Amino acid sequence: MDVAVAGGRLPLGVDANGDLTRKGSVCAFLLGTLALFAVLPAGLVGILLSDAGMRRVATDRAAARRLVGWSWIIFAVTDVLVLAGGTAYLLLA
């Protein structure tokens, strides 16, 4: 259940309690798993940033948004690179 808290917008995919929404959970699982197994250091950094952001939702919304935003960026960039590399490998092989 969401709790209304004033003080700015929530991070993408995170509710007011600091938990992932249903859509956020699915996206984080898919993007995080691919990023973690394909590029271990980047995936691990993305997971750590997301966790730090979710813990700060109640105390500092701006920092929470920034940290969770960076984690989504890391997951997206890593996954795009992996998918582009995999596609190029399949097309050129």
Q: pLDDT tens, 7-30?
A: 678 788 888 888 888 988 888 888
Q: What does the alpha-carbon distance between residue 76 and residue 39 come to, in Å, rounded to a whole number?
A: 12
**What is the pTM (predicted TM-score) of this model?**
0.73
On whether residue 16 sits in a domain, the answer given is: no
pLDDT of residue 45: 92
On whether residue 79 sits in a domain, the answer given is: yes
pLDDT of residue 2: 43
Give the count of domains, the chain.
1
Q: Determine the structural domain holding residue 67 and report its residue range.
A: 22-92
Q: What does the alpha-carbon distance between residue 65 and residue 48 come to, in Å, rounded to a whole number?
A: 14
On whether residue 3 sits in a domain, the answer given is: no
Please state the φ and ψ torsions of residue 23, each to the nearest 5 degrees.
Answer: -65, -40
Burial zone of 77 (CB within 10 Å; 0-12 exposed, 13-18 middle, 19+ buried): middle
Burial 22-46 (b: 16+ CB within 10 A, else e): eebeebbeebbebbbebbeebbebb
pLDDT of residue 3: 42
Q: What is the mean pLDDT of residues 62-82?
A: 91
On whether residue 57 sits in a domain, the answer given is: yes
